[in-house]
């Protein structure tokens, strides 16, 4: 049997690693094992070790879309720091561990358009691909050409059309064992000052997400109209519907979520779909609050709110859906 000592010195394995510092919510107990990986070789070494030990693996980017449990999370948390940037014409190849905001600035400088409106979304490029991150009319999938990933026993490449990108969804949400290594994006040349567009978006975003806010972004997904029956739709006030979606925040606000607090977890007073850690919130406070108001939405509107964020462990949230 391999022990942590058998791993190459480049792998820094940490036991009972505190998780709160790896999540923008700043909530969480400890990970049984934790390691950052800088390249494919380190990834494979850590992966092989975990498999031999029979450990489950959780892939982590910047932790801007996760809720860790309060206790010990069994298995290995593997943090993706795989960087790299290359440009060829209007195409770029990027490591999945690149920070999204750095990528956007780099593309803006190169005069390559397609991601400038995503400025201000925290996290890695890989994390953005998993949830098809989007804002202000842009989503990452619209510039993806192909993604390279570890499928369990080898590196594979899939083109965007095979990755089932949809609103806050991709095939990576189904195949949790796939680890994103890099991706190729296709952009459009622009003469506009793209950084000006990004900066303007950022100033709008700061109204909802002031610096230092402990949160995971929107807690629940908005509801696409094709998810709900005509019967259900009759219960939704017409002015709630925006861009073919029912915003979860409107439903939560209608059932009185705004400003409600449990322990140090609180729904933002100005937005129903934002749960904040005021200081010392724990996962139970957050889940309790989210669950209580999701139930209220169900009772009033017959709509099941689905978390947009990744909640650990997997069975901490019921597997319900509107279909
Ligand atoms: C203040 C704030 C504002 C936000 N605004 C937006 C917004 O406007 N639009 C939006 O879409 N999102 C938004 N988010 C959510 C979040 O920023 C995005 O979902 C982001 O893309 C997550 O990236 P990450 O690297 O932090 O992923 P993490 O939170 O670390 O992980 C998210 C998921 O991706 C998986 N994952 C991470 N890396 C890999 C990998 N290499 N291979 C396979 N799976 C992997 C994880 O296992 C997990 O399931 C916001 C979050 C915050 C805190």
CA of 41 to the centre of ligand 1 (A): 24
Do residues 187 and 268 both lie within one domain? no
pLDDT for residue 6: 67
Do residues 250 and 179 both lie within one domain? no
- Full domain range(s) for residue 227: 218-316
Closest C-alpha to ligand 1, atom 51: 217
pLDDT for residue 43: 96
pLDDT for residue 132: 98
Do residues 247 and 176 both lie within one domain? no
Task: List, chain by chain if needed, residues with CB within 6 Å of any ligand 1 atom.
Answer: 24, 58-66, 80, 96, 121-124, 126-128, 130-131, 133-135, 172, 178-180, 209, 215-217, 310
Residues of the chain falling short of pLDDT 70: 1-6, 323
CA of 127 to the centre of ligand 1 (A): 4
pLDDT for residue 3: 63
pLDDT for residue 320: 77
Whether 308 sits among the annotated catalytic residues: the reply is: yes
CATH code of the domain containing 251:
3.90.78.10
Domain boundary among 146, 163, 196: 196
Q: List alpha helices for the chain, DSSP H.
A: 40-53, 100-110, 125-130, 194-208, 230-233, 248-254, 283-301
pLDDT for residue 318: 85
Tell me the pLDDT tens digit for each residue of 108-136: 999 999 999 999 999 999 999 999 999 99
b/e map of 233-272 (b: 16 or more CB within 10 Å)? eeebeeebeeeebbbbbbbbbbbebbebebbbbbbbeebb
CATH code of the domain containing 31:
3.30.43.10
pLDDT for residue 9: 75
pLDDT for residue 1: 46
pLDDT for residue 127: 98
Number of domains in the chain: 3
């Amino acid at each position: 049997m391999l022990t942590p000592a058998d791993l190459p010195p480049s792998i820094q394995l940490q036991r009972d690693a505190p998780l709160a510092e790896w999540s923008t919510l700043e909530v969480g107990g400890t990970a049984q094992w934790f390691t950052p990986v800088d390249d494919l070789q380190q990834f494979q070494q850590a992966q092989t070790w975990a498999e031999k030990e029979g450990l489950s693996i959780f892939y982590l980017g910047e932790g801007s879309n996760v809720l860790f449990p309060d206790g010990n999370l069994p298995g290995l948390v593997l943090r993706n720091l795989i960087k790299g940037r290359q440009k060829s014409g209007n195409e770029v190849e990027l490591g999945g561990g690149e920070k999204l905001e750095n990528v956007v600035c780099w593309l803006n400088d190169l005069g390559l358009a397609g991601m400038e409106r995503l400025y201000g979304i925290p996290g890695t490029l890989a994390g953005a691909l998993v949830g098809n991150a989007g804002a202000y009319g842009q989503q990452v999938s619209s510039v993806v050409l192909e993604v390279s990933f570890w499928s369990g026993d080898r590196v594979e490449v899939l083109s965007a059309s095979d990755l089932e990108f949809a609103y806050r969804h991709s095939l990576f949400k189904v195949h949790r064992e796939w680890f994103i290594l890099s991706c190729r994006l296709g952009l459009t040349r622009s003469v506009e000052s793209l950084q000006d567009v990004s900066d303007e978006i950022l100033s709008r975003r700061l109204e909802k997400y002031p610096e230092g806010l402990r949160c995971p972004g929107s807690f629940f997904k908005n509801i696409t109209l094709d998810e709900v029956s005509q019967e259900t739709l009759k219960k939704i006030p017409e002015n709630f519907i925006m861009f073919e979606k029912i915003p979860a925040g409107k439903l939560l606000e209608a059932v009185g979520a705004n400003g409600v607090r449990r322990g140090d977890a609180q729904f933002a007073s100005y937005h129903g779909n934002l749960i904040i850690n005021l200081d010392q919130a724990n996962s139970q406070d957050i889940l309790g609050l989210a669950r209580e108001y999701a139930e209220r939405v169900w009772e009033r509107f017959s709509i099941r709110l689905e978390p947009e964020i990744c909640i650990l462990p997997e069975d901490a949230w019921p597997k319900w859906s509107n279909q």
